[in-house]
Amino acid sequence: MVISKATSNSDDFTIHSTFASRYVRASFPRFKMPENSIPKEAAFQIINDELMLDGNPRLNLASFVTTWMEPECDKLIMASINKNYVDMDEYPVTTELQNRCVNMIAHLFNAPLGEAEAAVGVGTVGSSEAIMLAGLAFKRKWQNKRKAEGKPYDKPNIVTGANVQVCWEKFARYFEVELKEVKLREDYLVMDPVKAVEMVDENTICVAAILGSTLNGEFEDVKLLNDLLVEKNKQTGWDTPIHVDAASGGFIAPFLYPELEWDFRLPLVKSINVSGHKYGLVYAGIGWVIWRSKDDLPEELIFHINYLGTDQPTFTLNFSKGSSQVIAQYYQLIRLGFEGYKNVMENCRENMLVLKAGLEQTGRFNIVSKDNGVPLVAFSLKNNSCHDEFEVSDYLRRFGWIVPAYTMPPDAQNVTVLRVVIREDFSRTLAERLVIDIQKVLHELDTLPSKITAKIALNGENADKNVTVVTKKSAIETQREITTVWRKFVMEKKKMNGVC
């Protein structure tokens, strides 16, 4: 007679569901590698559960970075995710696709290329690396000229607006270049070309203009900067060039504002960077830098790799990197073409105008951004004496929206704004929904005491106590202090109302 016996093994993961296993009740070390392995299903579930606490990328209106691509492109990305781009010998087709992208973008930016002439440029991990490479080229070319003239070459500087991205500060610090910033004004939130040219001296390696300020989306006047700099160069005998940081605007201006002169049509523009992962419509991890000609990229900065009997020049700070984003950029360029990119950018602009109109109809906001530029809406409260932009941003999180609030750089630090970036996947329906939720937030804030009243209420639990008003140290310190106090007050109010 055969006797059957049921066995139970709590470690046999194949019998149990993930949530019936011991792994969901175990505490895993956070900063040290665990001693033992765990099943792949458990590892996936543990990580996936934590990632649920991240914000929704589609509702992250703080970011310019692409958060949606077509499923066909997703398949190409996954198929090439194990390819190391630097292995040009093993993956020559991927290298060829990068070269095609460089040439397409160079033509888009009106590079003065001959019929069969190849463009000079390279793919990077983003505009930060692209700016580092462009800055190095300017610095080396300036140094070479100064050495040939027998002049000092130890104090290079670069002129920018105070609205530049932090990557420019990194470049200046890492590569020992003085950063000369043109201060902003409350009525002029981008670099003033006149003041920029006034700051140029014989040690200036270039002037950096921003095509699409991250603060308010505005395009700086590159044409005026070029004209003023041409005159100064004539007067001084210098040949100070221009770099255009088109991280956000490089894939917008050619389609929405084709007559705008900002690119290689201007003689002093020697290099341009653009983020493929912004309005180039590719997931994070791809940028491009294009030079006007070979003469603008010093040969000593270029390394040469021989693959399949052909010389392959390379100029990067990064070495190993994935091929997926390069392939995805090529997909978008041939999939959409000029017509498709134009349609996408027009849709973004139209949805920006819808959101702007909705905010204006509330009667509560001043619009700080311009209609022409990067499709975003930067706006501030007309009256922030009771509640400020930081509170609006905080309360919008309850609805899932991530909308940043920030103060402007010097000398416009008294201006505080909220900013909504309109990307390809931000539809008119979402724009209308956001306006509705903003109105709900404003209504709720209107029912709450002002920040000052809340602070007094917390500091004066006993009515007989004297309330001491602390003199504010700085705008930022005061803002942080008030935000902290206000949050405590709101939490106490929730507890009293029994809100979970």
pLDDT digits (tens, 9 = 90+) for 335-366: 999 999 999 999 999 999 999 999 999 999 99
* Average pLDDT of span 327-331: 98
* Average pLDDT of span 277-291: 98
Mean pLDDT taken over the chain = 89
Q: Which of 295, 350, 35 is nearest to 144 (CA)?
A: 295
What's the token pair of residue 467?
């309330």
Q: Which of 219, 194, 217 is nearest to 207 (CA)?
A: 194
**192 Cβ neighbours under 8 A, 6+ residues apart:** 161, 182, 185
Q: From the CB of residue 190, how many other CB atoms can be counted at a distance below 10 Å?
A: 24
Give per-residue pLDDT as tens, 116-170.
899 999 999 999 999 999 999 999 999 999 999 999 999 999 999 999 999 999 9
Burial of 134 (C-beta count, 10 Å sphere; 0-12/13-18/19+): buried
* Average pLDDT of span 373-393: 96
pLDDT of residue 5: 47
Q: From the CB of residue 363, how many other CB atoms can be counted at a distance below 10 Å?
A: 7
Is the pLDDT at 470 greater than 90? The verdict is: no
pLDDT of residue 494: 44
pLDDT of residue 103: 97
The span from the CA of 322 to the CA of 460, in Å, is 58
DSSP 224-293: HHHHHHHHHHHHH-----EEEE-TTTTTTHHHH-TT---STTSTTEEEEEEETTTTT---SS-EEEEESS
CB 402 within 8 A of CB 60: yes
Confidence of residue 272 (pLDDT cuts 50, 70, 90): very high
Please provide the distance, in angstroms rounded to a whole number, between the alpha carbons at the two ends of the chain: 62
> Of all residues in the chain, what percent carry a pLDDT higher than 70?
86
The span from the CA of 95 to the CA of 104, in Å, is 14
pLDDT of residue 268: 98
Confidence of residue 22 (pLDDT cuts 50, 70, 90): confident
Q: Among 10-19, 230-239, 269-278, 347-356, where is mean pLDDT lowest?
A: 10-19
Reported in sequence order, the residue ranges of 58-198 that DSSP labels E, i.e. its strands, are 120-124, 157-161, 178-182
pLDDT of residue 477: 58
Give per-residue pLDDT as tens, 486-496.
666 555 544 44
Q: Among 6-10, 75-79, 343-347, 354-358, where is mean pLDDT lowest?
A: 6-10
Sign of CA dihedral 295, 299, 302, 307: positive
Give per-residue pLDDT as tens, 181-205.
999 999 899 999 999 999 999 999 9
Is the pLDDT at 374 greater than 60? The verdict is: yes
* Average pLDDT of span 37-49: 91
* Average pLDDT of span 270-288: 98
Round the CA-based radius of gyration of the chain to a whole number and report it.
27
* Average pLDDT of span 309-332: 88
Helices (H), 82-154: 92-108, 127-149
Is the pLDDT at 465 greater than 70? The verdict is: no
Q: Among 261-270, 437-446, 455-464, where is mean pLDDT lowest?
A: 455-464
Q: Please report where in the chains the tokens 């580092």 appear, as a residue.
A: 132
CB 245 within 8 A of CB 269: no
SS3 55: coil
Is the pLDDT at 297 greater than 90? The verdict is: yes
**106 Cβ neighbours under 8 A, 6+ residues apart:** 113, 119, 120, 121, 290
* Average pLDDT of span 58-70: 97
Is the pLDDT at 106 greater than 50? The verdict is: yes
* Average pLDDT of span 459-482: 54
Q: Please report where in the chains the tokens 């006797």 appear, as a residue.
A: 3
Please tell me which residue, 500 or 110, carries the higher pLDDT value. Answer: 110
SS3 318: coil
pLDDT of residue 394: 96
pLDDT of residue 476: 58
pLDDT of residue 10: 46
Q: From the CB of residue 351, how many other CB atoms can be counted at a distance below 10 Å?
A: 22
